[in-house]
Amino acid sequence: MAVSIEFTSGFTDDNMVLRIRSGGGESLLQAVVPDPALRKGICRFMATVELKEVSKIYPGGVRAVNRINLAIKDREFVVLVGPSGCGKTTTLRMVAGLEEISEGTLSIDGRIVNDIAPKDRDIAMVFQNYALYPHMSVYKNMAFSLQLRRRELGLTKQLIDQRVRQAAAILGLTDYLQRKPKALSGGQRQRVAVGRAIVRNPKAFLFDEPLSNLDAKLRVETRSEIKKLHLRLQTTTIYVTHDQEEAMTLGDRIVVMKDGLIQQCAPPLEVYEHPVNQFVASFVGTPPMNFIAGNIDNERNFVCGDQTLLLPDKLTKGLGGNYHGPMVLGIRPEVLSLANEGRFAGVKNSLHGMVSVIEPLGDKADIYFTLPNQPPMVCRTETHHLAGIHLQAPATFYVAMEKCHLFDPAGRNLSSAISARVTD
């Protein structure tokens, strides 16, 4: 008979819970054993998560998630990001066991858990709405899950108290342990929800848009706390957000999703600098990338209306043959400059547009302008360069062509070698 052996460890106590399970997940033996080797760092438990051809199909044949493949390494912080309805939360809920997997397999530490109950997957989830018990104190909220499974986990009241107080110290909640949730700020409530997950010492943390209910300033502060927490605990983390800025700042890798498919999975800067397609390029970056529809002539010029841009070799390598025809040029706002700045000045690399909106942002400013028969464009510049720029007046912008992207009519990025993992 196939069996599996697993341990559950605390981060303050000196005991481990040893479990031996049958291949079907039935508990055959459970015992509390000392773990001095673990405390000395001699051995360590892995926490990998792998999805193979995983799909979620709702009644009517609606595929919320469509055959995705994703391998998350031990200690890694992976962020699922995308617009509403892309399948990111559904994917997270399948990992948590809150949604049934329609197709494919989900493995945690090499063990297939498709049919394993959420409570037996040894993971902890932090929800968007905190999900705190309003009648309980902070202490009781954090201790509740441990008290429910005290005998199963082999925990004494003293060990539970140690876990709760250490988690509270990590999160700066020691002075609030006797308060009720209604007496806390939004950021403090979110920290309680995180603390409730920490005390369980799970194999993996799952975060479902935990910062979306916070104001902008608190969101930035809490985001920093989550990053520092991960660096301290080194626990595998899967984080879901629709905010690409959160994804860029938190993740070791980000997974950009659309319509239930993974569009690109790579480190944040690689996704930003080398987007695999036009959707990823438009979604990652604030302000988003500008797009100009045009044609490439026989001399490898990009022509849009009466304006012509000379394409450098970097952008034409992916074309092959003697291609000429429709194409889309992608330009990040920061690779545009006003002519009076002097940056990026060159040969056949200027655009002449009409200024429509100026947005001062402190030391930076966004200048929105229009070209004939094209979507609005934006240039990010330094505020002191705004002198002489007026609304509803023409302006000239230089383009750093070496930093642009070229997309074919299907939206594929032809301008650079892509090393990111892509799921079609």
Nearest to 192 by CA among 276, 288, 126, 93: 126
Among the residue ranges 41-50, 81-90, 124-133, 345-354, the one predicted with the least confidence is 41-50
Residue 183 has pLDDT above 80, yes or no: yes
| Helix, strand, coil tally for the chain in percent (to 5) | 30, 35, 40
CATH number of 287-407: 2.40.50.100
Q: Report the alpha-carbon distance of residue 100 to residue 79 in Å, rounded.
A: 21
Distance CA(365)–CA(161), nearest Å, equals: 52
Yes or no: domain 49-273 corresponds to CATH 3.40.50.300? yes
Task: Report the distance separating Cα 136 and Cα 124, nearest Å.
Answer: 20
| Cβ proximity of 266 and 422 under 8 Å | no
pLDDT of residue 18 exceeding 60, the answer is no
Strands in 290-296's sheet, in edge-to-edge order, are 307-310, 301-304, 290-296, 326-331, 405-407
Q: Compute the distance between CA of residue 172 and CA of residue 168 in angstroms, rounded to an integer.
A: 6
The model's confidence at residue 217, banded by pLDDT at 50, 70 and 90, is confident
Which three-class secondary structure state does DSSP give residue 389? coil
Beta partners for residue 399, in sequence order: 336
What pLDDT score was predicted for residue 23?
54
Express each pLDDT in 109-163 by its tens digit: 999 999 999 988 989 988 888 889 999 999 999 999 899 888 887 889 999 999 9
By the 10 Å C-beta count (0-12 exposed, 13-18 middle, 19+ buried), 167 is classed as buried
- Annotated domain spans of the chain: 3-39, 49-273, 287-407
pLDDT score of 33 more than 80: no
Q: How confident is the model at residue 318 (pLDDT cuts 50, 70, 90)?
A: low
The token pair at 181 is 């949730």
Q: Which residue has the tokens 């051809």?
A: 53
Q: What is the pLDDT of residues 372-423, one digit of tens each?
A: 989 999 999 999 899 889 999 999 999 999 999 999 889 999 875 443 334 4
- Top-confidence range, 9-13, 34-38, 132-136, 214-218: 132-136
pLDDT at 3 over 70: no
Chain segment 220-250, per-residue pLDDT in tens: 888 888 898 888 888 999 999 999 899 999 9
Average pLDDT, the chain: 85
Which of the four pLDDT bands, split at 50, 70 and 90, describes residue 214?
confident
* Angle ∠(47,102,111) on CA atoms, nearest 5: 25
Residues 6+ apart with CB under 8 A from 59: none
